[in-house]
Chains A and B, each alone.
Chain A
Amino acid sequence: MATAETQREIGIDLTGDVRRRRRERVVKAIFFGAAGISILISVAIVLALVGKAWAFLSSIELNQLWASGWFPRRGRFQLLALAVHTLNVTAVAMLVAVPFGLGSAVYLSEYARSGVRRVLKPTLEILAGIPSVVLGFFALQFITPNIVRGLFPGAQSANFLAAGIAVGILTIPLVASVSEDAMRAVPSSLREASYGLGAKQWHTALRVVFPAAISGIIAAVILGISRAIGETMVVALAAGLNGLMTFNPTEGGLTMTGAIANLAVGSDQVAGDVAAFQSLFFVGLVLFVLTLALNVISERVVRRYRQKY
């Protein structure tokens, strides 16, 4: 803290009075406690996931994890099927979110006049505020019949394409805002130097500013992937309940988050069928580790490859 340092440097104690100092200590302790709660939350998350996932793993035969398909009530827990389906949805989502998100970011940062910006930026913010369950309904009722079936008439009613497009729409604002921040942080001297050498505006935007901001842009995409993997309500509604592994994006199936939601919602939660329900914690742990790793990587990318101007 700059102010704390200044105060220490001056070295004069103006606080006086014992009662005031005691109050200071109490208030500071309360605030520290509040900040410390975030650590407790992390510990509780890890305890909940690891404890229950361990209980699940020790209650099943490990080869059940390689049985074909994810059918908890039949004792078949093929995590790979869920992972493939998640990858399928995430890939489609990124095909939507990366071009539209980055395009929006370049336009907002390099082209838009402040008036245009003031109108269009809030649109992205509104889109970011739409609950994901609404996008799930939109995927089911609009994207599948009008877009997916338009391209692939034989597509199943619940399919990865529709779910992926909806997840991508949800991810556009995140990708756009993080990468726009990165591009706006590029000093204007770079742009001026580029114009000074006779470059056109498109050249300056795409060949000078974009590469200069690449660390932030990569971080934005990684964060988008992490967000897409963790998205639940869209896939719970629009990606289907099929537990058999499929690579076909016009078919549907359970993703990792979809499997958790389905276990929480469904009839698998019957007394006695403990392993089936506890598999939820195992999938949750995998999901948690995966998204945490992606978030940490995105921070590393920013720190490691950021150009210092």
Chain B
Amino acid sequence: MSSVSVSFADTGRSIEMTVDISAITTTEVVRQSIEGRRFSPVNALVAFALLFSLLSSVVILVTLLVDTIAAAIPVFQARGFSFITASLSPRAEAAGIWQGIMGSLALTAFVIVVAFPLGVAAAVYLEEYAPDNRVTRFINANIRNLAGVPSIVYGILGLFLFVEVLMRGVFGASTGIAGRNVIAGGLTLAVLVLPIMIITTSEALRAVPGGLREASFAVGATRWETIRHHVLPVAIPAILTGSVLTIARAFGESAPLLLAGAQLSLFFSVASDASFFDLLSDQPYTALPIIVFNFARQPQAEFVALTAASIVVLLVMLLTVNAAAVLARDRFERRYR
């Protein structure tokens, strides 16, 4: 059942109608009239098996969440939320995840600043400007292939391009962490999500009706004016939702950071008098998923609960952002359609 509301602009009155639109596809009508309502054991068995395979994903998800939360409870009971603000330590009872949260936020800032504008600009070119020729098809195929490259390979790229060439070669970082800084890590993650960003933005632009563009051209607007004043304003909710989901992906990503310089030790400190620029260029960093990895591979049993607690924090942050993005999308979709 789905409700439809119709409002009349002249009187300001609106009426609500409830229509069953869930079962009125033509195919469904054809099926029901021919097959009737007779019970078929094979039908029921197949339907059950298929539903079972779908529901097992739900069961897996619930098991994963329940198991992790249950394992995390001792940490929250013993230390409250103080383990979130505590620093890394090789001792499980003192170790916290603060550096990881800060590192992840800094990395995410890079992803937003670099991958978002580049991704949107590239998608605008491919959808709004590009002629249908070989170059365009090549760029499109290339982007699809980049989206399928394993994330660890982007780590190798980051190690080579950003740590070795950019930081050590161009900026001459050779002492201390020798270029394995948050800039290199952030750029690596930005490059990793760029193809996905382009693909989701392209889809959002493709959903904008062509008539809007033609109407704008017809009154003399140039292509850029059309894009800025008519195409982007309509597409922006979908673009933002897609981008938020993509950035959330970068937030949970850890494999490339193993190579692109996140600290893997359970103890490192950032100088308390470090300026923001120092923090960017010359300080060791780590990320929340990297901390999860690190805790998970410790042999001591006390780290199991700590790992679970870190996962809970990671998932809460991720799911909040994702849910907000999806809800925002639903809201905007209603307004624009």
Contact = CB atoms under 8 A, between A and B. Distances in A.
A223 B118 CA distance: 26
Contact of B139 (A38, A136, A138): A38
Contacts of A292: 145, 148-149
Which of B132, B156, B217: most chain A CB closer than 10 A? B156
B49 interface: yes
Given A230-B152, A261-B152, A120 B58 contact: yes
B23 interface: yes
A188 B198 contact: no
A111 B296 contact: no
B35 A134 contact: no
A202 B46 contact: yes
A280 interface: yes
B150 A291 contact: yes
Interface string B196-233: 00100000000000100110011010111000000000
B152 A284 contact: yes
B253 to A, nearest CB: 7
A281 interface: yes
A196 B32 CA distance: 11
Interface in B292-309: 292-293, 296-297, 304, 307-308
B121 A31 contact: yes
Contacts of A205: 46, 50
Contacts of A39: 138-139, 142
Given A137-B308, A201-B31, A100 B152 contact: no
A113 B24 CA distance: 10
Interface residues of A, number: 106
Interface stretch (B11-19, B272-280, B313-321): B313-321
B64 A138 contact: yes
A131 B314 contact: yes
B144 interface: yes
B157 A48 contact: yes
Nearest to A189: B27
Interface stretch (A56-64, A69-77, A101-109, A246-254): A101-109
B125 interface: yes
B152 A140 contact: no
Interface string A267-295: 00000000000001100100110011001
Given A124-B57, A284-B153, 8 more contacts: A1-B127, A37-B118, A38-B139, A126-B319, A131-B292, A137-B68, A202-B45, A257-B152
Interface of A: 1-4, 6-7, 14-16, 20-21, 23-24, 27-28, 30-39, 41-42, 44-45, 47-49, 52, 99-100, 102-104, 106-108, 111-115, 120, 122-124, 126-127, 129-138, 140-142, 169, 172-173, 176, 188, 191-192, 195-196, 198, 200-202, 204-206, 223, 226-227, 229-233, 236-237, 257, 260-261, 264-265, 280-281, 284, 287-288, 291-292, 295-296, 299
The 10 closest A-B pairs by CB, nearest first: A230-B150, A103-B53, A131-B252, A34-B121, A48-B160, A31-B125, A202-B46, A232-B255, A107-B50, A295-B148
17 contacts: A1-B131, A3-B214, A6-B214, A31-B122, A34-B117, A38-B195, A48-B157, A99-B53, A129-B245, A131-B252, A131-B292, A134-B292, A141-B67, A191-B31, A192-B26, A195-B34, A292-B145
